[in-house]
Structure 1
Amino acid sequence: MTALQDDRAAIALQALAEVTDPASVGELVEVIEGEPGVRDLVFACRLPGYVGWRWTVSTTQVADAAPTVLEVELLPGEGALVAPPWVPWAERLAEYRRTHPDEAGPEDEDLDDEDEDEDDELEESDPDALEIDGVEFEDAVDDDETDDDETDDDAADEERTDEDAADEDDTAADTAGEGAPQDEDAAWHDEGGRRS
């Protein structure tokens, strides 16, 4: 690595430290020469869940100026976005049971029987009842609430009727006065802007 590459690697690592934990940056994998004066420094990624991904830092150096960073990005490497090979469910389950022998056993069958008993109890109970922590709630609405709702609806209907009647009165007054100017300015506009 040349002195220029050392300078660029140093500023690339500083730029990466601004966007990620330095522990998530691995070794320098490659240097890609793009346009004249532009180099991409590619570092391995150590973030969990990002196997095969690479940190890429684009740097440039113009004339006699010091190298500078153009952009920092995390990009997938070759095969990083490919799903792992498919394994049938039976094989995955068998592997799980081998690695977790304490969790699978005849006790699980007893739990399944208890679940079925609870389901039967729910089916036999009142279909309109809801039970939470042993307290049964009926699915009916309180009569007082129903009466209040009806009263509110009646009051709203009366308000609408009053508003409709007021609108009709306004409309009748407007049509009755058609052709007759209502004030001096209206008369002026009706006569084409001439005052009489």
Structure 2
Amino acid sequence: MNDATPKDQPGSAYFIPEFVDTLETHTLSVLVDNEPGVLARVIGLFSGRGYNIDSLTVSETEHAKHLSRITIVTTGTPQVLRQIRSQLERLVPIHRVVDLTRLADERGHDKPLERELALLKVAGTGNHRVEALRLADAFRAQVIDANISHFVFEITGRSSKIEQFIQIMSPLGLVEVSRTGIAALSRGPEPM
């Protein structure tokens, strides 16, 4: 008798292996008409279907054509990510949807170019003040406001760098954080 059947499989001829899709985080770039209500429609698509947005930035990028670029970071299974892209492409004011994460993978890159800006208010005196300045210098953060009781630092970089900077500033008197969300471009000379 052939013993090739694994012991954990049922003895049924109708055995269907269970596939579990892993969650992936993707950055989507969406080119839209710059007109009232467009952002609300895009966000409504996400909220109406229970999709989460991890980061969202939007700004007019082509003034003459009145086009804006929305950069969305979202997490889901590959099937959900395809569904999000497909549904976004069907919205009327949308000109183009590009999955920058998938595009980077197709071009042999690890990730698209992603950067974020954050402002951090840190209050403190004495050694904490000196340590906050030293660490800010190491992270290439700029002091954009200061007085004898606090600093406001501006830092740009990958989200992981910003997270790390926030964590090390917490015990030194971190008061408040404001973050822009991710801005992203694909690598290479081609447009999105």
**TM-score normalised by structure 2 residue count:** 0.23
Judging by fraction of residues, say which structure has more strand.
Answer: 2
Choose 1 or 2 for highest CA Rg. 1
Judging by fraction of residues, say which structure has more helix.
Answer: 1
Q: Which has the higher contact order (CA 8 A, sep 6+)?
A: 2
